[in-house]
Amino acid sequence: MANPQAGRLAGKVAFITGAGTGIGRATAELFAHEGARVVIAEIDAPSGEETAHRIAAAGGDSIAIPTDVREADSLQAAIRQAVSHYGRLDVLHNNAGGSTLQDSDVVNAPIEEFWRAITLDLFGTFLGCRFGIPELIRSGGGAVINMASVVALMGFPGRDCYTAAKGGIAALT
């Protein structure tokens, strides 16, 4: 890692949900490379710890906090722990989400799949904003990054649950 104290995010604290794999992990590593201290909020604790180890190995500063974004108490506690550890919050990246093979068109998708998508993607983003934005304000301002998708604007045949959730995120943002 290049000198993290000299990056564009030097001195900033970034809270990233779903940072154990995929886009979330890549974002966490990039933010750390740019000098941010990164909070990895991840439901799968081993994946979150792996991301933290990768950041540490590259010279960055991060902590992993097991977090279920679908549960208000879990997400609120994770944000509080992050602020307690680092003293502030500057970036909130609501990244956790995804689709499953159970997703389908509105007629055939299991009702449980709709609730899973809405709860994980949309409600998780809502909770992140609800508990994270006050901390951003207390820290003097910051940035909120909510992961929607192009499907929010165009739709995606056979993925109506995911599309509805991402459309909600776009509207919330």
Phi, psi of 41 (to 5 degrees): -95, 105
**Rounded CA separation 26/168 (Å):** 24
Which stretches of the chain are DSSP H helices? 22-33, 45-57, 72-86, 111-117, 124-138, 151-154, 160-172
Listed residue (24, 28, 35, 141) closest to 88, CA to CA: 141
Say how far residue 157 (Cα) sits from the centre of its chain: 26
- Active-site residue, 162 included: yes
What's the one-letter identity of residue 144? V
Q: Which of 15, 31, 86, 162 is catalytic?
A: 162
Listed residue (112, 113, 105, 126) closest to 169, CA to CA: 126
- Residue 91: strand pairing partners: 14, 143
Supply the residues annotated as catalytic: 162
